[in-house]
Amino acid sequence: MFVPKTSPAPTPTAAAAPPQHFAPAPQQMQQIPQPAAPAPPPPPPALTGPLANINIMNVDTSQVEPALRPVVKSLGGLFSYCAATARVSPASQAPGKKREMEDNSKRLGQLFWKLNSRCGGPSAWLPKCISL
């Protein structure tokens, strides 16, 4: 047979507090959270470096300083001469030479990009490039 346990009787306290019921303040009931408006998309990041596929054939040199334009022209001419010689010479048809010319094209493209965007200021580039 099942006999339920009885709990001991609560002892009365000296000052029984009335039971408290939670009731939100009237101003809290009026504030209904509004759905947040979608944030506008962030602006595209500014280019901090040359494009990954930049080379001497697709670089923009329109903003190069006038003092550095002869440097860009002579380096571009030297590269074109080397590329033309590499196409004609049977010894330079090796895959290693082709890869070397592509690397040089990328390096010159990055240099021209830096000259065009004036990275480092004219004081940093002018003496180095004119000494070439």
Domain regions of the chain by residue span: 66-130
74 contacts 42 by C-beta, under 8 angstroms: no
pLDDT, residue 90, reads 73
pLDDT, residue 27, reads 56
Structure tokens at 82: 């080397």
Backbone angles phi, psi at 4, to 5 degrees: -70, 145
pLDDT, residue 10, reads 62
pLDDT, residue 19, reads 62
pLDDT, residue 98, reads 85
The reported pTM is 0.56
pLDDT, residue 126, reads 66
pLDDT by 10s per residue, the chain, length 132: 666 676 666 665 555 566 666 655 555 555 666 666 666 666 555 556 667 788 899 998 898 888 889 989 999 999 999 888 888 777 667 778 888 889 999 999 988 998 888 775 656 666 766 676
117 contacts 65 by C-beta, under 8 angstroms: no
